[in-house]
C-alpha cells in the first residue's frame, strides 16, 4: 500500500511534525491527500537550526495558507504567553497557537486558554498528559471557537504506561463539542497512528521518517521477512565480514 492510499483505511487527520522547511514544503506540495496540517515546537526549531522565529513562520505561511499549522509561545508567565499568542495568531489566519498546559512552575494555563479561545485565538494546548489536565481546560471553555488538545501519548508510553486507555477516556469525555479536537502527539512508531485512530483521536502528529514507513502498511510479512534477511546478508557481505 502506498502512502497516498492511507486515507482509504483511516479517516484520522495526519499533521506533519517538523521544523524543516524542506520537509514541510515537500509534504505540502506532494502529499496533500495525506497531510491535513503541520505542527512544530521550539525544540524542533532549535535542532533544525532555526535562528529567527518570526522569519521562519512567515516563510512557511507565505505558501501554506489553507492548512492549519501550530507555532508555540515560549514565554513562561501568563501575561507574556498572551502577548506572544496574539502576535503569532496575527501572522496568519491558519495559525494555531501552542500554549503549554502549565508553565515551568506548574501553574495551569486553563484560564488563559479560555480567554484566548473566547477572543478568537486558535489554540493548541500542548504537553497534556493527564485526564485531570484535560478536565480543567475543558470545563473552562465557553466558546465555539476551534481548539486542539494535544496529549503526549508517546511520552506517556516512555514511562511504561499504555496511553491508549487514557486517550480513549479523553476522547469520550470531550466528544460532545464539535469545536474540540484531541491530538495524539509524540508518535514513536507507525503503529501509533492506528492506535490513535482506534482511540478516537481526531488528529495524530507524525514525523517525516515515520510517514515514509506508510508504504509498509498491509505489506506481506513473508516478503518483509525475506527483505530483512537480504538486508543483513548484503550488509555483512559489503562490510567484508568473515568468521
Is the CB of residue 196 less than 8 Å from the CB of residue 167?
yes
- Say which residues have a Cβ less than 8 Å from residue 118's Cβ, sequence separation at least 6: 142, 143, 145
Has 98 been annotated as catalytic?
yes
Dist. CA 41–CA 31, nearest whole Å: 22
Strand partners of residue 99:
125
CA-based nearest residue to 154, from 184, 182, 134: 184
Catalytic residue, chosen from 98, 118, 136, 168, is: 98
Active site residues: 98
Amino acid at each position: 500500500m502506498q502512502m497516498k492510499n492511507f486515507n482509504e483505511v483511516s479517516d484520522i487527520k495526519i499533521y506533519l511534525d517538523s521544523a524543516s522547511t524542506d520537509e514541510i514544503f515537500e509534504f505540502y506540495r506532494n502529499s496533500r491527500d495525506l497531510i491535513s496540517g503541520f505542527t512544530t515546537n521550539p525544540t524542533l526549531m532549535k535542532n533544525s537550526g532555526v535562528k529567527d522565529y518570526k522569519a521562519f513562520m512567515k516563510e512557511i505561511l507565505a505558501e501554506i495558507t489553507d492548512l492549519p499549522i501550530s507555532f508555540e509561545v515560549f514565554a513562561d508567565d501568563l501575561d507574556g504567553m498572551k502577548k506572544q499568542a496574539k502576535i503569532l495568531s496575527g501572522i496568519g489566519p491558519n495559525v494555531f497557537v501552542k500554549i503549554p498546559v502549565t508553565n515551568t512552575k506548574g501553574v495551569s494555563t486553563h484560564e488563559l486558554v479560555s480567554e484566548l479561545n473566547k477572543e478568537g485565538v486558535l489554540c493548541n494546548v500542548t504537553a497534556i498528559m493527564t485526564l485531570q489536565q484535560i478536565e480543567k481546560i475543558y470545563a473552562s471553555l465557553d466558546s465555539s471557537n476551534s481548539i486542539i488538545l494535544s496529549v503526549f501519548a508517546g511520552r506517556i508510553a516512555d514511562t511504561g504506561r499504555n496511553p491508549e486507555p487514557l486517550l480513549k477516556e479523553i476522547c469520550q469525555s470531550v466528544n460532545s463539542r464539535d469545536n474540540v479536537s484531541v491530538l495524539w502527539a509524540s508518535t514513536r512508531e507507525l503503529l501509533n497512528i492506528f492506535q490513535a485512530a482506534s482511540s478516537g483521536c481526531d488528529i495524530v502528529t507524525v514525523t517525516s521518517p515515520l510517514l515514509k514507513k506508510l508504504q509498509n502498511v498491509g505489506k506481506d510479512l513473508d516478503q518483509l521477512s525475506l527483505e530483512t534477511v537480504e538486508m543483513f546478508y548484503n550488509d555483512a557481505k559489503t562490510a567484508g565480514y568473515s568468521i
